[in-house]
Amino acid sequence: MSDELRFPDPSARRGVRDSNALDDRTARLIREAYLPPVASGEAANAYWSALESRIMARVATADPTRGDEGLWSVLERWAQVGLVAAVAIFAVAGVVGRSLGEPEEQVAYESVVQAATPEALSAPAQLITASDKSVQRDAALQYVLSY
């Protein structure tokens, strides 16, 4: 077994641990609990080889341009989505507003027309009444003047 296929020994790094660190037994148990669920020896080597193959298969099919995407391209994509959403919201709001506005306009129109109708109808009556009175007054005046 080559060095590459061995787990890196954490004890070298753990030399820098402070005195308050977990005791070795606890650390070892945790470490064992976090190992992949494969047996040791050849089976473990086979597991890591298989995992490496899966990783490389994904790397081979990965889009190399995606890694070049920076923050701006991500923001640009979200801006496009936001723009489309805003247009859709405005369109829906316009349609809803129009459909809700029509009955109100109709009611307002009718209320104005209804409110205006008695006056409109009474105006000619007043004119007629007024014209009757003036005819009578003219006739009376002519009668007085004729004497």
Nearer to other proteins, 49 or 134 (CB): 49
- Closest Cα partner for 112 from 120, 100, 124, 102? 120
User: What is the smallest separation between the CB atom of 56 and other proteins, expressed in angstroms?
Assistant: 5
User: What is the smallest separation between the CB atom of 78 and other proteins, expressed in angstroms?
Assistant: 17
Q: Write the CB contacts of 21 (distance below 8 Å, at least 6 apart in sequence).
A: 14, 27
User: What is the smallest separation between the CB atom of 15 and other proteins, expressed in angstroms?
Assistant: 8
Which sign does the torsion angle of CA 49, 51, 57, 60 carry? negative
Nearer to other proteins, 20 or 146 (CB): 20
Q: How far is 14 from 27, CA to CA, in rounded Å?
A: 10
Q: Quick check: helix, strand or coil at residue 31?
A: helix
Residues in contact with other proteins by the rule CB under 8 A: 4, 7-8, 10-17, 20-23, 26-27, 29-39, 48, 51-52, 54-56, 58-60, 62-64, 66-68
Q: Write the CB contacts of 27 (distance below 8 Å, at least 6 apart in sequence).
A: 14, 21
User: What is the smallest separation between the CB atom of 9 and other proteins, expressed in angstroms?
Assistant: 9
Nearer to other proteins, 33 or 71 (CB): 33
User: What is the smallest separation between the CB atom of 64 and other proteins, expressed in angstroms?
Assistant: 6
Nearer to other proteins, 51 or 74 (CB): 51
Q: How far is 46 from 53, CA to CA, in rounded Å?
A: 11
Nearer to other proteins, 30 or 81 (CB): 30
